[in-house]
Structure 1
Amino acid sequence: MTDERLPLYQRLRDDMLAKIAAGEWTPGGAIPTEAELTRHYGVAVGTLRKAVDTLVQDGLMKRSQGRGTFILRPNFEGSLFRFFRQVDAHGDRRIPRSRILSRHLEPAPGDIAEALELMETEQTIRLERIRQLDGATLLHEEIWLPATRFDALMHIDIADFGNLLYPFYESHCGQLIGSARETLTVETAQATIADILGIGTGQPVVMVERLALGYDRTPLEYRRSRGAASTFRYQVDIS
């Protein structure tokens, strides 16, 4: 269990998330039944339900009538590409292909080390990646990962990295991404980024900064994705 100062239902919630992070419970699968969990934790069913309710409200679990409660996998690709158009010449939606340009072992910049809760001298794996559609680069990405957790990635040919990184992290490093926080800013393109994105130096680009967390809220990845502002769209429904 976690911090004894927290209400019991919050401690149950944190323990459940720790089980997912440790691989005891698998995303996509069902958690044990209420009867099994109340026996395991020695709590009232109301306390257990309140803990599960918070996980459902946060989008980490989903109840299915008559089947149980299931652990969800967040759709991070859908999140990112709600901001950038991903259609071909015919207007059909497509997922861009990914290519790793470089991989280095290095300390992260101070603000990123702080976000990842690392000492500034601790090593990270820095990936540089592009997302392309029909040969045109839609996004340029810089990604920092704690080297102690993702060491296996240093021993895999970068040509063998998957198109989607989060399933790759899970299968090769045992690290599960459960949630993320994103911040959007607008900046002008420096020469190197402008050349990669095929735009003029000084043209506006949108940067999406993402801090990805494990199910137990441990910071696992810091990412900066940059795309031309001309491909950016933002939509929010207000009711």
Structure 2
Amino acid sequence: MIADDLTTKIRDGELPPGAALPPQRELSASYGVTLATLRQALQQLENDGLLLQQAGRGTFVTEPRPTYELHSMRGFEEDLREQGQTVATYVLEQKVTDPPGWAEALLGDGSPVVQLERLRLLAGRPVVHQLSYVRELELAEADFSERSLYAVLASRGVTVFKASEVIRPGVLDDQTAELLRQPPGTPVFLSERITYDPDMVAVVLDRATILGTAMEIRTDRALTGVSVQWTRPPT
């Protein structure tokens, strides 16, 4: 009841981001519950990312966190812009090269590929570093500053059929920490995605580092929807 009511007020804008909730004793009295019951509801909303409890200061409504949706065949940029986020993409490097060993093994051969390195900024803050290897050599001259990789592939007549993605927790290494302007060791999500054409030939290999303090990953589950498998990460 308490959690549902506060969630509705937050979603409807009655409690905007940054707003402070009344003191806990006042809230518990207004809802007619004990402090223990109230604190359980507040903890639930904090776990859901809607509230932030700060010792000695109070409880505050959080800013909405951008999410990376797992149930679509879109890229980071399309996901985030649909959520109203201000996204900028900086191309750090774009060239034709031989793939490194790990990419060659996943793509299936050692043919030259387009190596595309990008940095994604949300509201001016760098939050995603992405390294892609693409079979279509014509994309070596494509402009990726305003269009997603998937959109450019579609414009070149490349049909994307499915993608396989693995996401695991990690921490920033020294090089990527400098790009994302965070201390080494900051928590991140490490994403590896292989995108296939209708003949099940791998056409794109992506490795992305997603700043864990800036984004959350979300998916919807249904009987015929996304298949989620939990595995132990490699040691």
Larger helix proportion of the pair:
1
Answer yes or no: is 1:111 the counterpart of 2:102.
Answer: yes
Answer yes or no: is 1:77 the counterpart of 2:56.
Answer: no
Show the counterpart of 1:153.
Answer: 139
% identical equivalent positions:
19
| Alpha-carbon distance change, 76 to 220 in structure 1, aligned in 2, over 3 angstroms | same
Cα distance between partner residues in 2 of 1:171 and 1:238: 31
AA aligned opposite 2:139: L
Deviation at 1:236, TM superposition (A): 5.3
- The alignment covers a number of residue pairs equal to 150
Show the counterpart of 1:207.
Answer: 190
Say if 1:143 and 1:223, in contact at 8 Å, map to a contact too: yes
| Alpha-carbon distance change, 187 to 80 in structure 1, aligned in 2, over 3 angstroms | farther
| Alpha-carbon distance change, 79 to 238 in structure 1, aligned in 2, over 3 angstroms | farther
Say if 1:207 and 1:224, in contact at 8 Å, map to a contact too: yes
Q: 3-state SS of the aligned residue for 2:94?
A: strand
Deviation at 1:162, TM superposition (A): 3.9
Give TM-score scaled by structure 1 length.
0.55
Give the RMSD, CA atoms, in angstroms: 2.7
Ranges in structure 1 where 5+ consecutive residues have no aligned partner: 1-73
Answer yes or no: is 1:183 the counterpart of 2:166.
Answer: yes
Q: 3-state SS of the aligned residue for 1:194?
A: helix
AA aligned opposite 1:125: V
Deviation at 1:133, TM superposition (A): 1.7
Task: Please give the residue correspondences for 1:120-139 in structure 2 after superposition, counting only pairs within 5 Å.
Answer: 122-139=111-128
Deviation at 1:238, TM superposition (A): 6.5
Say if 2:90 and 2:120, in contact at 8 Å, map to a contact too: yes
1:142 to 131, 134, 156: 131
Give TM-score scaled by structure 2 length.
0.56
AA aligned opposite 1:107: D
Show the counterpart of 2:147.
Answer: 163
Ranges in structure 2 where 5+ consecutive residues have no aligned partner: 1-71, 223-235
AA aligned opposite 1:129: R
